[in-house]
Structure formats: C-alpha cells, structure tokens
Amino acid sequence: MKISPLIIEAPDKLNYNRPWLKSYNKNTPANLVYPDKTIYEMLADSARENTNTVALEFMGTKTKFKELVSQVDNCAKALLEIGVTENDAVTICMPNTPHAVIMFYAVNKVGAIANMIHPLSAPKEIEFYLKHVDSKFILIGDFSYSNLKKVQERLEINKIIVAKISDFLGKRMTMGFWAFEGRKIPKIKYKENELLISWKKFYKLGLNSNKVIKTNMKPGDGAVVLYTGGTTGIQKGVLLSNDNFNALVVQCLAHLNDERLGEIKKDKIMCILPVFHGFGLTVCVHLPMCVGACAILVPKFNSTIFADQFAKHKPQFIAGVPTLYEALLRSKKMKKSNFKCLKGVFAGGDSVPIELKNQFNEFIQKRGSMVTMQEGYGLTETVTVSCLIPNTNDKLSSMGIPLPDMLYKIVKVGTTEDLPPGEDGEICISGPTVMLKYYNNPEETDKVLKLHPDGLKWCHTGDLGYMDEDGFFYFKSRIKRMIKSSGYSVFPNQIEEVINKHEAVSLSCVIGVPDKYQIEKIKAFITLKEGYSDSDRIKNEIMDLCNEYLAKWSVPREIEIRKELPTTLIGKVDWLKLKQEFAEA
C-alpha cells in the first residue's frame, strides 16, 4: 500500500554510486516519476479528487478543497483585472494565512512569479525585495503596511492589496482578535492612496470578471523567488521552478512511504513554519494541498498558541526548526498534551543538537508518541530539505541520507575533486530540486552551480561535512563559519554539541572573536533553561565538559550567558549578528 498515488517508481537512469540506498525504507523507490504540471495544476487535480475534504484550517475557519480552488481562480482573475501579466512578479508579504495560500496559487495560475518575503521585513528590506525582481504588485498585511509606506515613493508600484487577519475569521473570532491584537494596528486610509485596495474589494474584482486566464507557463519555468536566510551576509533571490516544488513533494512522500502510516489523505499538518520559507511553503502547504491533506495555518508562533492548536486539531505531522522544539519543551501546556496522533516529526533549518533531539523524543514518547524526530538538511537553493534521516535507522549525529533522485557528494574545498568517505570537504548536491539560478545575479549563480567532470550540474553548498561508509552525511560547519585559531581549524557545531549536553543549557552559539595572539579566540554564548541562573559554577561545569570531549584548541576561552540569543527570520540562532557585535566594537 502506498501512502499516496503520486509515488510512482521510475527506472534508474542515474548510473551513480549511491551507498545510502541500502538504508531506504523498503517501500521507498530510489527513482521516481515526476508530474509534468505547474504548481497550480497540482492543486487543481487534488481539488477534483478531494472536493469536500478540508484543505485549510485557520483560527476556527475551515476551507474545503472545492472552496479553495474557487478562491484561487477568482483571485487569479482579480490579478488580471489589476494588470498582472505573466511577465510580472507579485510580492507576497504575509504570515501563514489563507490570503497567502490563495495568492501563491493564483499567481502561479496566471503565469507570474511569486516573490515570497517576511511580513515583518524592515522598510529597506521591502524596498530591496521589490526592486530585486521589479515587482509592481504586492499583497501585504495591514500590520506591515507602515513599513512599506516609508519606502513607497522610491518604488514603482501599481497596486497594493492590503489583507487583514479578520478577513478569514468568524464574527466571534474577529471580535476576540480585535480586542487583543487588531486595535493595535493603525487604520489604513484607502482614500488617501489610490494604489491601495483591500483584500475584500480586490477579491470582488475577480468575482465580477469575465477575463479568461491563459498562460504559457511550463513546469520547468521559474515560478517562485525565495530568499536565502542571509547567514552569509548577502541576500540573494533564489529562482525555483514548478518542477522543483513538485519534485520535492513526491520525494518527501516516497521517503515517508510506510504502510504503517496508512494513506496520508485527510491527515493534518501543523503549518507553523512561515510560507516565505521553502520548508513552510513546500512541506507544510504545497505537499498537503497535493495529496488531499489539511494544512493548519498558524500565523504566529509561540508555545501557548502551538499547544492550543495541537490539542484542538491533533495533527499527524509537525515540522519545525530547533528553536521551536526547544521552546515546546519549556511549555507548561505542552506537558499536558497527548502525542499519540503523530505520524511524523521533522526538524530542519539548522543543526539539531543531539541533546535536544533526545530530550524531545523522550518528551513525546512519554506522552504516547510512537515516532521520533527526523532531522533533515537542505537549503533554499534546493527549495528546502534534500537529505533526511530515514525512519529505519537513526544515526543521531547524522543529517541523514539523500531523498530519492538526489545525489550528494563531498569535494575538496574550492575544487570539483571528489573525496572518499570519512574525509571532510564541501557538501555538493545535484538533482531535480536544485534551483534554476539566483535571480538577476549570474555572478553568484556561477559560484554555486558548477558543471563537474561527471557531466552533472552540482550545487556547492558552502557547508563543510563528510559521508560515512553507509552513505550517511554529517554537517560540520559553514565553511565561512569555520574558526581559525592558532593555525587550527575549529568547527563551532562540534563545540555547541558538547555545550548542549549540560542540563542547564537551553541554546548555545559559538563564534570566533578577534585576538591578537590566536587570530581568533573561541567564545561561547548560551541561554539557560527555566530554573537556572547565571553562575560561575555552570560556566565551570561547561568548561569541564569541553575539556573532556574536545581537543585543547577547540575549547572556548570565554563563556557568556545571555537572556536570549539573536535569531534570523526563520528562527535560526544568528551567529553572524554576534560576530558583527565584535566587528563594530
């Protein structure tokens, strides 16, 4: 039994040594057939088969597949009415709400590019994102509009569609939202700006439209621009195709394919990860939309909201970044939850400390769960995850094995020279989810996408790691993050794994700070779990752990305890911001 009919095995045309295949689930094909369809066509096909199944749940409002595809079709007509063509890019600056999902598919239907950005982007960031793709149309939340307004005069905008959370709330929920959140949002003065239109008025344009939608978009064409997290210091727009998104959906389904799970249709997945990020958009939205499952949209994460939504919906799948799972462990409400409903727990976006993985697995298993956390690895340049721990084997320190049809290898840094198992080098990826290019940035594209002697195009990740004899891959560090101290190469992730073993440590981040003798000295920043306070005893115990597990040159010279650590837009600990503190000093 397959969990989805989208899983179709294909003959092996790769002719490539893949030692990891022996660790695949017995029902996971090594090679797959991929749908020759656009992102919108995948939704439309699914809606025809799952007409009355609930597709989205949002703060008490349920949307069935037949309603969703109708909303998307109307939205697409409205886009034509305001002048959007298949040569345009439409910016979506929204949290996880129905507006964002509807607009994402509607933009695809008209053949335009969906430019996905963070709803809390600063004014200068919004300006950069719109100019980068020459976007003249934007969907933005009313709570974010003030930031766009500050840079609007410097942009060539044709229409600003303003959405409210209350657009998709029932009367009771709207009153509650207004009492706690809505009244804080400045009122939008539509009459003062002819470019502004409310979501409801925009949507009516589609209802009253007689326009016929025709598009020349092909499955291999660019469809979505996502932005790299900025951990390298340079924001780049990653252009991804319909094929990239649809391939990842089929690969994830094949990886999950286990008869014990039953059909995935009608299952629920918690959509906590943001839709401007590949993990949230593909795994938490597009995947359930393709198979007739339900995405529970959570517009804002905090552990209390998550606990309430989890208890109410009893989802089968949850996916998040390490900081999310760390927060859940501290939630009093989550301690009262029953996790028997779970079929899968996935973590990505950053390395998961072994201690956190063990603690979370123990936490949910004590409360009825039969599954364990599966860590994955990926990057925006491959949509998101392309390597995942198989559910048949969990090497705790590994980031897993490549998904079907994805090829991984390790090369000598700065070259295309393959390295054998066990040797550290740059992780390179090839396969159907690798991006088309960096949008309007051929120079950076050429640095990352390279043709190797084997005739394949490989994505150079900028990450350092190795492969073991079984084909499992291990992440060590960002190459740019590697610390050079007294001539030795030091890997922050290894140090953080040791620090996280201490019972008091909640999060840790290790960086190199300037030092006149060592070039860089190693400094560790940590936050403590509830019930612990800053003390020399804790610092000394952490130093003892480091001396026990690490080579002398890898032991931190200094430990600083903070109340919180800076994070990136998707919740990763922002090591670069900590580095900048010292650069500015």
Of the two residues 494 and 518, the one the predictor is more confident about is: 494
Q: Averaged over 291-317, what is the pLDDT?
A: 90
End-to-end CA distance of the chain: 61
CB distance 306 to 328 below 8 Å: yes
CB hemisphere CA count around 342 (13 angstroms): 23
In a domain, 132, yes or no: yes
Q: Residue 567's beta-bridge partner residues? A: 573
| Angle at alpha carbon of residue 65, lines to 299 and 197, rounded to 5° | 55
Locate 342 and state its tokens. Answer: 């779970």
Q: Averaged over 531-540, what is the pLDDT?
A: 90
Please give the helix or strand (H or E) that residue 101 lies within, else none: helix 98-109
**CATH code for the domain of 448:** 2.30.38.10
Residue 377: band (very low, low, confident or very high) from pLDDT cuts 50, 70, 90: very high
In a domain, 175, yes or no: yes
Are residues 426 and 527 both part of a single domain?
Answer: no
Q: What is the pLDDT of residue 302?
A: 76
Q: What is the pLDDT of residue 231?
A: 34
Are residues 143 and 73 both part of a single domain?
Answer: yes
Residue 562: band (very low, low, confident or very high) from pLDDT cuts 50, 70, 90: very high
Are residues 495 and 426 both part of a single domain?
Answer: no
Q: What is the mean pLDDT of the chain?
A: 91
Are residues 446 and 544 both part of a single domain?
Answer: no
Q: From CA 315, how far away is CA 330, in angstroms rounded?
A: 20
Residue 552: band (very low, low, confident or very high) from pLDDT cuts 50, 70, 90: confident
In a domain, 13, yes or no: no
CA dihedral angle for residue 501, residue 503, residue 505, residue 510, rounded to 10 degrees:
-20
**38-42, 301-305, 360-364 — which one is most confidently predicted on average?**
38-42
pLDDT tens digits, 447-460: 999 999 999 999 99
Q: From CA 222, how far away is CA 512, in angstroms rounded?
A: 39
pLDDT score of 538 more than 80: yes
Q: CB within 8 A of 531, min separation 6: which ones?
A: none
pLDDT tens digits, 179-236: 445 557 888 988 889 999 999 999 999 999 999 999 999 999 999 999 985 434 467 9
Q: Averaged over 48-66, what is the pLDDT?
A: 96
| Chosen domain end from 478, 497, 516 | 478
pLDDT score of 87 more than 80: yes
Q: What is the pLDDT of residue 351?
A: 75
Residue 173: band (very low, low, confident or very high) from pLDDT cuts 50, 70, 90: low
CB atoms within 10 A of CB 189: 8
In a domain, 449, yes or no: yes
**CATH code for the domain of 551:** 3.30.300.30
In a domain, 107, yes or no: yes
| Chosen domain end from 434, 460, 478 | 478
Nearest to 395 by CA among 313, 309, 304, 473: 473
125 residue type, one letter: E
Q: What is the pLDDT of residue 122?
A: 86
Report in angstroms the alpha-carbon separations of 7 from 33, 109, 281: 8, 24, 20
Q: From CA 567, how far away is CA 535, in angstroms rounded?
A: 24
Q: From CA 336, how far away is CA 357, in angstroms rounded?
A: 20
Nearest to 221 by CA among 445, 456, 436: 436
User: What percentage of the chain reaches a pLDDT higher than 90?
Assistant: 69
Q: What is the pLDDT of residue 327?
A: 84
Among 169-173, 399-403, 423-427, 473-477, which is the least confidently predicted range?
169-173
Are residues 422 and 530 both part of a single domain?
Answer: no
Range of the domain at 176: 61-217
pLDDT tens digits, 330-360: 888 888 899 999 999 998 877 788 888 899 9
Q: CB within 8 A of 158, min separation 6: which ones?
A: 82, 83, 136, 137, 195
| Chosen domain end from 437, 457, 478 | 478
Q: What is the pLDDT of residue 486?
A: 65
Q: What are phi and psi of 476, to 5 degrees?
A: -110, -45
CB distance 511 to 492 below 8 Å: yes
Pairing of strands 294-297, 54-58: parallel
Q: How many domains does the structure of the chain reveal?
A: 3
pLDDT score of 579 more than 90: no
Are residues 68 and 177 both part of a single domain?
Answer: yes
Q: Averaged over 514-522, what is the pLDDT?
A: 76
Q: What is the DSSP string of 461-509?
A: EEEEEEE-TTS-EEEEEEGGG-EEETTEEE-HHHHHHHHTTSTTEEEEE
